[in-house]
A = this chain, B = another copy of it.
Amino acid sequence: MSIPLHTTISETLRSQIEAGDYSPGEKLPSEHQLMATFDVSRITARRAIANLVHQGLAHTQRGKGAFVTSKQKVAYSLSSPLVFLEQDLAQKGVHLSFENLMFREEIPSKQTCAILQLTGQANIYVQKKLLQMDGAAGAVDISYLLSELGQRFAAQLPNNMTFPILEKNNIPIEHISALIECTQADYEMSNYLEVPLGHPLMVYRYTAYSSHHRPILHGETISRGDRFCYVLNTQR
């Protein structure tokens, strides 16, 4: 069984990257250079570069070229006691900032009603924030908050992360139930996070409970898989 040409070329380039011939951030040969070097068509050269992009080893920019990706993940701790994202990243020398994309009251979906244990005709507040790490888009946080809390802190929430505001106002989070999965960037997320379509994303889907096991906040943090990871410790 023969190996496709585009695979041969991309594996050659990968070996060169891994051997240190190309450093993170360094420009890879252009499509024309690859055509000449390997005596192939442009479509084959492009496919080889696309293979590297699909493996997260390179990224391309129209008019500029293809570059080796810079690998630098920030680890967020999931262990007890809860540490807030901003503080956790600040300890690691990463500046977290964010852009408020949405903050409004709306009718919750049935699923959100179930998760937040809402009765009657209660509304919720939905927030959407684009989190930037050292100025570069890193994650999108979408969350749903009990209406009474959304109203109460409407002035503060669009400009702050939610957990610290609750903490400051004597609404401490006692317990978080969460799921971690990875997905692939669709067009919406690829635009927000400045990644190619299909880029791996980590989703931290959480429900936060205050005292008496009351769910008050539900949401998900969708972060770039190449920029973010989670660490945790489990005791018997």
Name A residues whose Cβ lies closer than 8 Å to a Cβ of B. Answer: 7, 11, 14, 51, 53-56, 73, 75, 78-82, 172-187, 196-198, 200-202, 225, 228-236
Contact = CB atoms under 8 A, between A and B. Distances in A.
Nearest to A234: B176
A54 B184 contact: yes
Ranked 5 nearest A-B pairs via Cβ? A54-B198, A181-B229, A200-B200, A182-B182, A182-B225
Given A56-B198, A172-B236, A234-B79, A7 B180 contact: no
Contacts of A173: 236
B232 A78 contact: yes
In this complex, the member of A82, A173, A201, A232 whose beta carbon has the largest number of chain B beta carbons within 10 angstroms is: A232
Nearest to A202: B182
A78 B234 contact: yes
Given A54-B197, A181-B202, A198-B54, A175 B234 contact: yes
